[in-house]
């Protein structure tokens, strides 16, 4: 793939000069408005329109392309003519725009472990956003999805710090190719780790823990040239991140060298006064937030007066304002907004055939086969009647997930699907034109219906299953159960879904269950009822087409779980890289293991792993070593394997997780052939974060684990010498 121009172009001396001249000319009011991003939700219409006509706003959000005209006109007619940046939540495609390509969610695309694919998704999204007249994507989410009760797990790349780091950097390289759009690493910091999985709540982690698990993805994307960051709603150890000079100015800007700008999340400045009771008024809020390192306020109009007053009172020195404005103008310069060189692809790229093709590849790689008793792949010749049953079998809304034209910027439940959308039902109908396919939803998820209607649906589904050769049972969750403020205390399948699975499997033994969900749910019941079980997080517009092709063997599975599945909600957190337990189990009333582990994923191919070979069994703490393993595809089916390399320090002065992923690779292995996979590992990867925040590799023995499923391992032992 063409090496993308990941790091935004350095700014020319002429533009640096122009920026300094602008800052020299700008009034305080012009500077403060450059630091204020508004959406039409933020103000009464008349007041908002006045701001738009004045043309001083640094940025607008939730404006879609066709509406940008009046905003640009206002800016062009202003005294200095500084053009605004338009920001949008294009988090899995430019999906807020009806007709744009809706890719699989981040959690779904993470199942691919495919950095090249994710970078291409970033580039395709950037082209559609830029073509639509916008400039800035509030993406990627770099939160670590470890507490599954949290409502936004679907937006993460899963539970592993390395996977989040690598895929986050990949999608940013795609977004920022040739300065198409600015990316936005969010939500800084540890937003998903809040106590109880509660959205926007407090996270009780130490800085050491933050450096070990939560900061590395953000460091990785600074190194990839990410142009903007977004501060989280929440707090760490009782301090709202947006007023933490430690995390914003000292670590992000000084230590990591971040030279872009930081925008707050929605109305964070206002929250300091009205939700977190940290500031007595917006003047104090402005002082705390700007001094800590926030350069732009998202949607707190009061910021204008508060910040102006704080500067006039001397609470905020002008150099802090100038630094914020300089950072914003530099990003605008990189996007071509300061000198009229802004590049925009033609609108025909939006939802184009090339992106649809990429979307289909993404949907295929985002499906994970968890169980298969041999029923898959289905044989078309033996399919007289297929019963497609379940509430998510034909629910395109549940399939495409959150942050689309359905849910944002204003909820639009009556919208029609994109023309290209394919559900599991329509995908199977298209793939099996000569097979009798009957469809029954069987039950609802959380909609209110009468008992009579509920029983009727159940009986109709059982009747449809009774004489079917195969039942494809599609269960899960839907938009109402995923997203901001939608944390769940119980991850059991809603409604009568488990009952439906039990009763269907009582009349038909060939049940292929497809989970269409935003995040992991509790699947123990379903697993018992299924001859095969697929996990499909929100697969985007073509999710159903991919499922049909995979079930029929037209395509092969390659997806792996980027996140673990618990036996029950009470066993959370269930992420794989935890410490050993002192006693022989976590709970007296639940198994010690997860239902499914990070890294799992079956295939129609079968891979046999040879012994692990090390380039040396002894290395120095500043050395490097190679881990090599032969993997043979012993099946008759070409396949792709995601090879995972984990390690554990066997004796360490710090508690160490049972294993930690330090590398992974997607490897194509033709039927019958053997591929040699080699990982080159710096010894520093075997370190831990000390109290002084150094990365320390202690001498001693380390176990290396190579795996294709996160549960079965080939191992070798390495000694790090003094
Ligand atoms: C939301 C989200 C954030 C999003 C922003 C703009 O509340 O927390 O992820 O980018 O507001 O829509």
For 367-402, write each residue's pLDDT tens digit. 999 999 999 999 999 999 999 999 999 999 999 999
Greatest CA span in the chain, whole angstroms? 80
Per residue in 258-296, pLDDT (tens digit) is: 999 999 999 999 999 999 999 999 999 999 999 999 999
Distance between CA atoms of 322 and 8, rounded to whole angstroms? 22
Substitution candidate for ligand 1 out of 37, 89, 233, 275 with most atoms within 8 A of CB: 89
Confidence check: pLDDT of 656 > 60:
yes
Distance between CA atoms of 635 and 355, rounded to whole angstroms? 32
Atom 10 of ligand 1, nearest CA residue = 138
Tell which residue, 395, 390, 423, has the closest CA to residue 497.
390
Average pLDDT over residues 699-706: 98
Distance between CA atoms of 638 and 338, rounded to whole angstroms? 51
Q: Does 638 sit in the ligand 1 pocket, CB within 6 Å?
A: no
Confidence of residue 3 (pLDDT cuts 50, 70, 90): very low
What order do you get walking across the sheet with 36-38 strand by strand?
136-137, 85-88, 59-61, 36-38, 297-298
Work out the percent of the chain whose per-residue pLDDT is above 90.
95
Confidence check: pLDDT of 4 > 50:
no
DSSP code for 518: S
pLDDT of residue 188: 98
Q: Which residues of 578-603 are buried (b: 16+ CB within 10 A; e: fewer)?
A: eeeeeeeeeeeeeeeebbbbbbbbbb
Per residue in 687-698, pLDDT (tens digit) is: 999 999 999 999
Q: Could you tell me which residues come within 8 angstroms of residue 57 by beta carbon, excluding any fewer than 6 positions away?
A: 33, 34, 36, 37, 38, 51, 71, 75, 84
Per residue in 549-585, pLDDT (tens digit) is: 999 999 999 999 999 999 999 999 999 999 988 777 7
Global confidence as pTM: 0.97
Atom 12 of ligand 1, nearest CA residue = 89
Q: Nearest-5° angle of CA 403, CA 231, CA 326?
A: 110
Distance, CA 465 to ligand 1 centroid (Å)?
43
Average pLDDT over residues 218-233: 98
Distance between CA atoms of 106 and 552, rounded to whole angstroms? 26
Instruction: Please state which of the ranges 233-247, 575-589, 595-609 shows the lowest mean pLDDT.
Output: 575-589
DSSP code for 189: T
Lookup result for tokens 């090879």:
643
Average pLDDT over residues 425-448: 97
Q: Does 261 sit in the ligand 1 pocket, CB within 6 Å?
A: no
Residue 505 parent element (H or E):
helix 497-507
Distance between CA atoms of 645 and 663, rounded to whole angstroms? 5
DSSP code for 55: T
Cα 415 off chain centre by: 24
Atom of ligand 1 nearest to the CA of 187: 9
Confidence check: pLDDT of 219 > 50:
yes
Tell which residue, 461, 440, 468, 473, has the closest CA to residue 382.
468
pLDDT of residue 583: 77
pLDDT of residue 6: 43
Per residue in 442-483, pLDDT (tens digit) is: 999 999 999 999 999 999 999 999 999 999 999 999 999 999
Per residue in 131-188, pLDDT (tens digit) is: 999 999 999 999 999 999 999 999 999 999 999 999 999 999 999 999 999 999 999 9
pLDDT of residue 413: 87
Distance between CA atoms of 707 and 349, rounded to whole angstroms? 40
Q: Does 138 sit in the ligand 1 pocket, CB within 6 Å?
A: yes
Query: Could you tell me if residue 483 is left (phi over 0), alpha (psi between -120 and 50 degrees) or otherwise beta?
Result: left
Q: Could you tell me which residues come within 8 angstroms of residue 324 by beta carbon, excluding any fewer than 6 positions away?
A: 35, 261, 290, 294, 295, 296
pLDDT of residue 552: 98
Calculate Rg over the CA atoms of the chain: 26
Confidence check: pLDDT of 418 > 50:
yes
The dihedral formed by the CA atoms of 150, 156, 157 and 162, expressed in degrees to the nearest 10: -80
Confidence check: pLDDT of 1 > 60:
no
Distance, CA 63 to ligand 1 centroid (Å)?
14
Burial class (CB in 10 A: 0-12, 13-18, 19+), 700: middle
Q: How does the average pLDDT of the chain come out, rounded?
A: 96
Confidence check: pLDDT of 5 > 60:
no
pLDDT of residue 110: 98
Atom of ligand 1 nearest to the CA of 141: 9
Task: Kindly write down the DSSP assignment for every residue of 81-150, as one continuous string.
Answer: -PPPEEEE--SSSSTTSTTS--PPPHHHHHTTT-HHHHHHHHHHHHHHHHHTT--EE---B------TTS
Distance, CA 200 to ligand 1 centroid (Å)?
12
Confidence of residue 603 (pLDDT cuts 50, 70, 90): very high
Average pLDDT over residues 28-35: 98
Confidence check: pLDDT of 2 > 50:
no
């Amino acid at each position: 793939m063409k090496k993308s121009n990941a790091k935004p172009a350095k700014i020319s001396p002429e533009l640096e000069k122009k920026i300094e001249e602008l800052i020299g000319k700008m009034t305080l009011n012009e500077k403060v408005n450059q630091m204020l991003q508004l959406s039409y939700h933020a103000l009464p219409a008349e007041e908002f329109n006045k701001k738009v006509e004045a043309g001083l706003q640094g940025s607008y959000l939730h404006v879609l392309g066709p509406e940008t005209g009046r905003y640009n006109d206002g800016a062009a007619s202003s005294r200095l003519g500084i053009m605004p940046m338009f920001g949008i939540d294009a988090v899995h495609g430019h999906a807020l725009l009806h007709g744009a390509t809706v890719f699989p969610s981040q959690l779904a695309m993470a199942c691919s472990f495919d950095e090249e694919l994710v970078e291409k998704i970033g580039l395709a999204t950037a082209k559609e956003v830029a073509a639509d007249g916008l400039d800035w994507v509030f993406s990627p989410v770099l939160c670590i999805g470890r507490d599954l009760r949290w409502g936004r797990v679907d937006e993460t790349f899963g539970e592993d710090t390395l996977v989040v780091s690598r895929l986050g950097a990949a999608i940013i390289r795609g977004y920022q190719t040739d300065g198409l759009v600015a990316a936005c690493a969010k939500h800084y910091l540890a937003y998903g780790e809040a106590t109880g999985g509660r959205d926007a709540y407090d996270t009780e982690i130490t800085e050491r823990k933050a450096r070990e698990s939560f900061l590395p993805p953000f460091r990785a994307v600074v190194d990839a040239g990410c142009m903007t960051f977004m501060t989280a709603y929440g707090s760490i150890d009782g301090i709202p991140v947006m007023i933490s000079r430690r995390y914003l100015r000292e670590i992000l800007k000084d230590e990591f060298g971040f030279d872009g700008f930081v925008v707050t999340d929605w109305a964070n400045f206002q929250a300091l006064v009205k939700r977190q009771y940290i500031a007595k008024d917006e003047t104090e809020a402005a002082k705390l937030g700007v001094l800590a390192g926030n350069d732009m306020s998202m949607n707190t109009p009061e910021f204008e007066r508060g910040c102006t007053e704080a500067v006039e009172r001397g609470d905020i020195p002008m150099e802090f304002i100038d630094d914020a404005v300089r950072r914003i103008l530099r990003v605008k310069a990189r996007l071509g907004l300061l000198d009229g060189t802004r590049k925009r692809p033609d609108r025909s790229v939006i939802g184009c055939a090339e992106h649809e093709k990429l979307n289909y590849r993404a949907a295929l790689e985002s499906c994970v086969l968890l169980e298969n008793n041999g029923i898959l792949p289905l044989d078309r010749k033996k399919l007289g009647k297929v019963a497609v049953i379940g509430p998510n079998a034909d629910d395109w809304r549940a399939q495409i997930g959150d942050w689309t034209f359905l849910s944002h910027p204003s909820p639009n439940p009556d919208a029609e699907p994109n023309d290209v959308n394919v559900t599991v039902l329509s995908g199977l109908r298209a793939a099996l034109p000569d097979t009798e396919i009957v469809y029954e939803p069987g039950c609802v998820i959380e909609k209110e219906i009468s008992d009579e209607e509920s029983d009727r649906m159940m009986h109709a589904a059982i009747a449809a299953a009774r004489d079917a050769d195969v039942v494809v049972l599609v269960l899960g969750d839907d938009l109402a159960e995923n997203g901001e403020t939608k944390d769940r205390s119980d991850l059991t399948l809603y409604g009568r879904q488990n009952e439906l699975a039990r009763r269907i499997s009582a009349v038909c033994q060939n049940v292929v269950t497809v989970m269409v969900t935003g995040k992991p749910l509790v699947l123990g019941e379903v697993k018992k009822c299924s001859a095969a079980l697929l996990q499909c997080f929100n697969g985007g517009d073509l999710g159903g087409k991919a499922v049909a092709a995979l079930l029929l063997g037209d395509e092969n599975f390659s997806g792996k779980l980027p996140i673990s599945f618990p036996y029950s909600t009470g066993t959370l957190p269930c992420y794989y890289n935890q410490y050993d337990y002192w006693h022989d189990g976590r709970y007296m009333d639940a198994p010690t293991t997860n239902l499914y582990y990070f890294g799992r994923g079956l295939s129609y191919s079968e891979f046999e792993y040879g012994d692990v070979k090390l380039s040396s069994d002894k290395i120095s703490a500043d050395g490097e070593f190679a881990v090599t393993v032969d993997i043979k595809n012993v099946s008759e089916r070409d396949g792709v394997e995601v090879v995972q390399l984990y390690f554990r320090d066997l004796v360490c002065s710090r508690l160490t997780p049972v294993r930690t992923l330090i590398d992974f690779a997607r490897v194509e292995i033709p039927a019958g052939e053997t591929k040699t996979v080699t990982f080159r590992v710096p010894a520093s990867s075997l370190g831990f974060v000390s109290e002084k925040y150094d990365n320390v590799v202690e001498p001693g023995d380390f176990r290396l684990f190579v795996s294709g499923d996160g549960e079965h391992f080939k191992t070798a032992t390495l000694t790090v010498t003094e």
